Amino acid sequence: GNSVTQMEGPVTLSEEAFLTINCTYTATGYPSLFWYVQYPGEGLQLLLKATKADDKGSNKGFEATYRKETTSFHLEKGSVQVSDSAVYFCALIPKTSYDKVIFGPGTSLSVIP
Amino acid sequence: EPEVTQTPSHQVTQMGQEVILRCVPISNHLYFYWYRQILGQKVEFLVSFYNNEISEKSEIFDDQFSVERPDGSNFTLKIRSTKLEDSAMYFCASRETRQGSYNEQFFGPGTRLTVL
């Protein structure tokens, strides 16, 4: 079946530290891959996406590269800020269904000054 | 910027009672969704809705659940007889069109349902 695994949290970093949140997936064929972010008290927002192998999604200093060899889509940011504190969800949409977003469990990030 | 809204933000109900969660999708969107997140667990797909009918539903979406678009703006999720295990955050989402490649689903802020 289709599933997403991501590193357990919570993750606590100091401001300006380097961030990596690991994400791996299992899917039939080549799904589209996404990172969603949920800031405290808010809904889910699309952070970035990649729809085919070797694509790099980027937004707000965050990046993730679609690696089909390792079935991974790790999220990175070179220098985190306090305002990046949120829960990050890795997700996929299988090629068999444009409708269903399949989420990972989420990783909580806290950035301290 | 257009956004998906949901009401109420928090709903508390007694086991066995009916609840209706309301969503107002973005106005020109055609596809509507409900997801839920039990505390500490992942966000799970419940149902998708297009052209006034369900297009896909998960195993979770049993006969206790129903969805409706009663007018041109609202999209509702009804749980007929709530159980303790229905306690969760429920997210509504909408999407503009199905044609072509992936179109982003826009999510609302969620309704936290607590069943006592």
HSE-CB of A1 using CA atoms within 13 angstroms: 4
User: Cβ–Cβ of B109/A49 closer than 8 Å?
Assistant: no
Strands A11-14 and A107-112, by their bridges, are parallel
A98 at interface of B, judged by CB pairs closer than 8 A: yes
Rounded average pLDDT over A6-18? 93
CB contact under 8 A, B4 and A43: yes
How close B72 gets to chain A, by Cα (Å)? Answer: 21
Work out the average pLDDT over A26-37: 91
The size of chain A, in residues, is 113
Distance from CA of A27 to the nearest CA of B (A): 16
Task: For A38, name the nearest residue in chain B, comparing CA atoms only.
Answer: B109
Task: Tell me which chain A residues have a C-beta less than 8 angstroms from the C-beta of B31.
Answer: 99
Do B45 and A101 count as a contact with CB atoms less than 8 A apart?
Answer: yes
Environment class of residue B26 by beta-carbon count within 10 Å: exposed (0-12), middle (13-18) or buried (19+)? middle
pLDDT at A51 exceeding the cut of 60: yes
Looking at residue A98, its pLDDT comes to 64
Q: Burial code of A50-66, b = ≥16 C-beta within 10 A, e = fewer? A: beeeeeebeeeebbbbb
Q: How far is B15 from chain A (nearest CA, A)?
A: 26
pLDDT at A30: 86
| Residue-wise pLDDT tens digits, B7-49 | 999 999 999 999 999 999 998 898 999 999 998 788 999 999 9
pLDDT > 80? residue A63: yes
Has residue B99 got a pLDDT over 70? no
pLDDT digits (tens, 9 = 90+) for B38-90: 987 889 999 999 989 999 999 999 999 999 998 878 999 999 999 999 999 99
Percent of chain A surpassing pLDDT 70:
98
